[in-house]
Amino acid sequence: ALDSEIVYFDREVGTTGLRADVFPSIVWNQEKNWGFLRTSFGYRYTAYDLDRNEGPGGNSPDRGVEILTVDGGLFFEKYRDNGDLQTLEPRIFYLYVPFEDQASLPDFDTAQFTFGFSQMFHYNRFTGADRQGDANRLTLALTTRALNTSTGRDRWSLSVGQILYFDDQRVTVDQAMPTNLDTSPFIAELSWHPLDRLSGRVGAQWNWEEAELDVGTLALDYTTPGQQRVGFEY
């Protein structure tokens, strides 16, 4: 696989210039009806040709870092009395990215992703290419869902998960302090589909470190016959 991007940033104030980001990787997938194993190893290289407008730092900084992921899961199924198919889907995801000092790189379009269930399986906690987060972490997750066997649609699904950190997270943006955590917030998300066009979602993130609720979410979505979508989220 190969992901690549070339962008030129121009603005009235601050650093301008060219950024080239190249991420080749070797991916190996094994998928069965009872589970899957996906492993990948890649090298992400980012280089710049900058005009810093007399600011600090050189005009041609670069960064190269290895990225290793191992993602595996199992599928268990049973039929319920009402004919629905009930699943149990444990999943484990390991991510390793060594630390690389990136203080000399500019920050054109980087921010930290909003933490959520899908973010626990991503190789970078930052948007853009200016920062590649270091990581040595293990995600443990479990999903169960009820499927309508005649339509294949979820009637409801429940997912829970948490990240275990083995090292501090040293790469930051906006001169923030490194993050020293043993675990991420514990995430639980419940989705419910009472009707074909109506769905609801309830989510929560519980912070073990602070013993408090970080985020709670309540959402409703309705899709009209004309495919317009109306949503509410709190």
CA 94 to chain centre: 13
Cβ 187 vs Cβ 116: under 8 Å: yes
Residue 163 has pLDDT above 90, yes or no: yes
- Per-residue pLDDT of 76-120, as tens digits, reads 999 998 889 999 999 999 999 999 999 889 999 999 998 888 899
Give kind and range of the element (H or E) at residue 185: none
Quick one: average pLDDT of 139-154? Answer: 93
Q: How far apart are CA 114 and CA 215, in angstroms?
A: 11
List Cβ neighbours of 56 (8 Å cut-off, separation of 6 or more). none
Strand spans (E) along 75-166: 76-79, 85-97, 135-147, 154-165
Provide the 10 A C-beta neighbour count for residue 221.
Answer: 16
Residues in CB range of 18: below 8 A, 6 or more apart: 6, 7, 8, 9, 48, 49, 50
Asked if pLDDT for residue 54 goes beyond 80, the answer is: no
Contacts of 202 (CB under 8 A, 6+ apart): 189, 190, 217, 218, 219
Instruction: Compute the distance between CA of residue 152 and CA of residue 148 in angstroms, rounded to an integer.
Output: 5
**Rounded CA separation 42/64 (Å):** 10
The DSSP letter of residue 120 is: G
- 186-to-120, 136, 164 alpha-carbon distances in Å: 11, 18, 10
Strand partners, 115: none
Span between the terminal Cα atoms of the chain, in Å: 38
Quote the mean pLDDT of the chain.
93
* Tens-place pLDDT, residues 171-200: 988 777 788 889 999 999 999 999 889 999
> Residues 6 or more apart from 81 whose CB is under 8 A from it?
none
> Cα(53)–Cα(139) distance, rounded to whole angstroms?
43
What integer pLDDT is reported at residue 37 of this predicted model? 98
Instruction: State the alpha helices, DSSP H only, in the chain.
Output: none
Tokens encoding 12: 């009235």
96, β-bridge pairs: 68, 136
When mean pLDDT is compared across 53-62, 110-119, 163-172, the lowest value belongs to 53-62
Residue 185 · residue 208 · CB < 8 Å: yes
For residue 207 the two structure tokens come to: 């912070």
